[in-house]
Structure formats: C-alpha cells, structure tokens
Amino acid sequence: MSQPTFETAVRTQGVNMFFGEGESRVTALKQADFDARRGELIMLVGPSGCGKTTLLSVIAGTLTPQAGTVEVFGQRLDGLGQEDLTTFRRKNLGFVFQSFNLIPTLTSLENVTVPLLIQGVSQREAEERARIVFEKVGLKGREDSRPNSLSGGQQQRVAIARALVHEPPLLICDEPTSALDKDTGAQIMEMIRTLSRAPNRCVVVVTHDQRIFRFADRIAEMEDGRIRRVVDDPRQLDTTHL
C-alpha cells in the first residue's frame, strides 16, 4: 500500500473484523488494506460474503474493527468511542442505502432535512437548504410527496439529496442501483459520479451491479475479507465470480 498523501480520503490498514465467539466465530475482514482518494468514485465489488458491507461499515464508523487502523479525511476512527464516532458520522458522512430508507410517514422534503436537524440546524433553515438540494437532484415540485408516491428512481434521488444536504466530504453508497432498472440506475450513477468530482469529496460505492462498473474511477475487488486487487478499468476484472 502507498503512504498516505494529502489526496487520501479513506485509508484502512490491517483491518481485522470477526463476529461471534468460539466455533461460531466468523471472520469478515482479514488484514483489509484499502484506500480512496479525494475527488474519486471508488467501487467495492466482490462475491456475496466477501466482506464488502463490513468494510463499508468500518469506514462509516458504524463498526469498530478488532485490529488495524481506519483513517477518514485525516481522522483516526479506530480509537474513537461511540459518542465521537456518532459526531464524526454526523459531520462527515452521507449515506445512500440499498432500500433508500426514506421514512414513509414524512414528506420527501422532511426526509431530506433529517441530517441537518440532527446537526441542530433550525427547521426553517433546514427546509431552505433542503429545497436547494432538491432542485439540484431534479425533484423540484415533489417536495411534499410522500416517498411511497414516488418512483424508485425518484426515491433514490431523494435519498441522494438527503445524503448531500449537509455537504459531507464522504459519501457512502450501499448498492445504490440494486432496486432500479438499467436506465434509472445509469442516471443515478451519473449523478453520483458528478458529485464525486468535488475536490474534497470521495464516494465509496458497494455494488454487485456490473452495469455500473463503468462509472467508477477505480474498482477494489474483494475476496475472503481482503482487497484482492484494485483496477482502473472494469475490463481488467474477472467478473465471472462476482
């Protein structure tokens, strides 16, 4: 692995993660070394059970590894307590989930305001800022719609707006296109790639969806809890086992 540079956004070294004890112990990450740069969109790919989601959780600070170091935008996460990790996530991370996780009883605009309200921003200011992001993701006019009345693509746009509204440097996307058709998935990925071009932003995407590999700047292939290799061109991947 290369030494950290000012361009490094995320860096993990020798990360070990296992679940359970004794005979039921399952190793999810084995000496996982990974890095992502500012301004890039990097994908984590690999077969089911290879540790993609666990590594993503470690980078997001929702899981603490048993060994190894995790550094995100210069901040070591592996030594932080739960409260500090929560504060870190609040300020630095945006999430796009596989099943959107939009609260169905709130309007789309209210869903987008959630990260700002968590930060303590006033309701009025949160709504003003949410409207601006809403327009950026192409959903102007659908602010008062409930998530269930939107199409899958529109719901994912709302989720992206929610992930971006507090301008986090790191965007974590977990299977962002798995619930979308090909064209909608491509549109969403185009949007995510554009967002990743901000100089101080990094986007990490976990996916199985080979149709979107072309949107990645780099692809990290995982196998058995570690990074097998990192490629710049998806054609370099052996996709038969993915």
Question: In the bound complex, what is the minimum distance in angstroms from residue 182's beta carbon to another protein?
Answer: 21
Task: With beta carbons less than 8 A apart as the criterion, state whether 58 and 29 touch.
Answer: yes
DSSP 111-149: HHHHHHHHTT--HHHHHHHHHHHHHHTT-TT-TT--GGG
Decide: is 104 part of the binding site for another protein (CB under 8 A).
Answer: yes
Number of C-beta neighbours around residue 223 at 10 A: 13
Give the interface segment with another protein, choosing from 91-99, 194-202, 217-225, 234-242 (CB under 8 A).
91-99
Which run of H or of E encompasses 71?
Answer: strand 67-72
Antiparallel, parallel or unpaired: β 170-174 and 93-96: parallel
Output 115 or 225, the one with its CB closest to another protein.
115
Q: In what order do the strands lie in the sheet with 26-37?
A: 26-37, 8-19, 67-72, 75-76
Decide: is 95 part of the binding site for another protein (CB under 8 A).
Answer: yes
Question: In the bound complex, what is the minimum distance in angstroms from residue 22's beta carbon to another protein?
Answer: 21
3-state secondary structure of 76: strand
Decide: is 66 part of the binding site for another protein (CB under 8 A).
Answer: no
Closest CA to 228 of 5, 174, 236, 66: 236
**Region at 73 (left for phi over 0; alpha for psi -120 to 50; beta for the rest):** left
Residues from 118 through 137 that contact another protein (CB under 8 A): 118-119, 123
Decide: is 49 part of the binding site for another protein (CB under 8 A).
Answer: no
Decide: is 47 part of the binding site for another protein (CB under 8 A).
Answer: no
Residues from 181 through 220 that contact another protein (CB under 8 A): 206
From the list 28, 32, 43, 63, which residue makes contact with another protein (rule: CB under 8 A)? 63
Decide: is 16 part of the binding site for another protein (CB under 8 A).
Answer: no
Decide: is 40 part of the binding site for another protein (CB under 8 A).
Answer: no
Decide: is 106 part of the binding site for another protein (CB under 8 A).
Answer: yes
Output 1 or 118, the one with its CB closest to another protein.
118
Antiparallel, parallel or unpaired: β 202-206 and 41-45: parallel
Output 31 or 53, the one with its CB closest to another protein.
53
Question: In the bound complex, what is the minimum distance in angstroms from residue 97's beta carbon to another protein?
Answer: 6
Tokens of 98: 């596989």
Interacting residues toward another protein by CB under 8 A: 53, 56-57, 60, 62-63, 83, 86-91, 93, 95, 97-99, 101, 103-106, 110, 113-115, 117-119, 123, 146, 174-175, 206
